[in-house]
Amino acid sequence: MEHIYMKARAKINLSLDITGVRENGYHEISTIMQCVALHDGLYIKKVYKSDYLKVVSNLPWLPSDERNLAYRAAKYLKDRFAIEDGIFVKIDKVIPASAGLAGGSADCAAALLGVRNLFALPASNEELRDVSVQFGADVPFCVMRGCAHATGIGEVLTPLPAVPHMHIVLVKPPIIVSTEEVFKEFNIEAMGKRPDTERIVHAIKNEDLQGICDGMANVLESVTARDFPIIDELKGFLIERGAMSAMMTGSGPTVFGIFRERDGALDAAKALKKAYPGFNEIFVTRPYVY
């Protein structure tokens, strides 16, 4: 095999709770994460030059060096297993950047799995998941994919069954949110509504879509939606157009709405594009079951 193509799946948080703060300043979280069909594409190719490692993308501003998680993942495996051939990675970015959708983490996970598969390296998915936390808290989930309850800083994963049938509208407003700043500003005593994580887990296991929607909440909205009122505006817009529930994913700024039927999701996405003509990152997707 000379090359391989990998799909790097985005994720949404069906819940996001903060349960404490560690001595090192990292926040303890409890979150239900779900992969969706929206994905980047990674084309990974062997190059017969031993010292060669190059990452390129369709976005000229995207870093192609150590700042790129896919580059770091490929370099890690090349160094660890003393891969004699070079590695070329081309990333076709579709997942919005800095959006709360784990696009960079998904690319990193796809690079780990793709390089492993391309060179037939002796590393299991579980081993890759364990080492991948060094690249970012969301990367272990992106290696595992599917649906999971994540705790710790996001790296302790309990797999969950596939969620029931649903369609998801994603809308990323054209604003920049710093995850680091959101966590810095987060006040555990003023976080507002918290998710009912146990209810969501029970609902997933019982294929109860309404139960999932009823338990959803994201405590980081107490920071991001305060600083950017468009978050609550978009949630309200989706609810008014038939979403069973709407929430911000991660630290934002992407908002998603859950719809039972695809036609309803398509209609809501069309209405969003009409009402917000400057918003270029609106998608209709579905859960991805690994």
Residues with a known catalytic role? 11, 138
Between CA 20 and CA 8 the distance in angstroms is 30
Are the C-beta atoms of 257 and 243 separated by less than 8 Å? yes
Coil, strand or helix at 96: coil
- The residues facing 158 across adjacent strands are 149
CA-nearest of 132, 103, 102, 129 to 13 is 102
Instruction: Determine the Cα–Cα distance for residues 217 and 15; give it in Å rounded to an integer.
Output: 5
Cα–Cα–Cα angle for 254, 211, 235, rounded to 5 degrees: 25
DSSP assignment letter at 166: -
Residue 213: which H helix or E strand, with range? helix 209-215
Q: Using CA atoms in the order 170, 60, 142, 231, what is the torsion angle rounded to 10 degrees?
A: -30
